[in-house]
Amino acid sequence: MEEIIRKAFGKVNLALDITGVRADGYHEVRMILENVGLYDTVRLRRLPAESPEAQTGPVRLQMDPAGVTAGVPTDARNIAFRAAQLMQETYAIRDGVEITITKRIPVAAGMAGGSTDAAAVLRGMNRLFDLGIPEEELMKTGLALGADVPFCVHGGTMLAEGIGEKLTAVPGIREMAPESALVLVKPSEGASTGAIYRGYDGMPEEAVDHPNLDRVTELLRTGAEEKLLDLFPEMKNVLEPVTRELVPVIPAIEEQLLAAGAEKAMMTGSGPTVFGIFRNRAAAERAAGILRAWDEERIGLAGTGKEAADQPLQILVTGWEDLEGDDE
């Protein structure tokens, strides 16, 4: 095999709780992650060790101009690049690899966009070089790259514990309401993940609204659509109040999503992306149109022709992960 193409799906957090801080500074978490249908495309091409291409470097990474390229490095600062290096070093791969990523998942969005690209490289190189590495071993290998990588290697819907590496499969909203769809809204403003966790650490415990993860998993395991009304109020993210202070437009986005018909609106990960869950794709598309019109008015573009005071929101519509697999 000389080339392989993988889909690298993004994720949202249905609930996120912090249960403590380890001696090494990592936060212990309990959270539910579910893959969504929005994905990057990761193309891997084998470069024979003796080829001129491989001689310039064992890993080559480029971003497809058809996707997002701004702010995405193509060297060892990119986790997908480091994933290829890790596979070569761990499994003594002599040949090089060329990686081309068509990025659709927003960058620095709380959707594991980098981690899922890295996971696609791990899985793709496993097949490209016919290594036969079991998925569980790939997940352990990926943990060296980041806490979200093991989840992204496996995919689906998982209860994640520890620093995110202890994974238990659970049913997702796609099983409860397969026709449901999401509107993803990413503000242009960002916030440092480190600053967000430090802000959380400074919150008094009585001010933290912890989700009941046992209750969330119990409701998900019913697989019953009528339980969604019980599930949605239990879906909480303890980092959201901190990120709201740093990215003040988040509450307004949630209000607009709910006004446009979302059954639930909340932030994913450390943010700043907010997602709204809608009954079906048509309802989500209508809501996205409403959000775009509101955003134009918000930044002073509607009918004025003046320069915007802010950058537009990224507004995307998607479903849950395609269960047909991650090969293109």
Residue positions annotated with a catalytic role? 11, 148
- Which residues lie below 8 Å from residue 25, measured CB to CB, with a gap of 6+? none
Our measurement of the distance from residue 158's CA atom to the centroid of its chain's CA atoms, rounded to an integer in Å, reads 13
Among 113, 115, 85, which residue's Cα sits nearest to residue 99? 85
C-alpha neighbours within 13 Å on the C-beta side of residue 163: 15
For residues 106 and 68, give the distance between their C-alpha atoms in angstroms, rounded to a whole number.
Answer: 8
Question: Which pair of tokens denotes residue 28?
Answer: 């212990």
Q: What is the 3-state secondary structure (H, E, C) of 174-226?
A: HHHCCCCEEEEEECCCCCCHHHHHHHHHCCCHHHCCCCCHHHHHHHHHHCCHH
Half-sphere exposure of 305 (CA within 13 A, CB side): 0
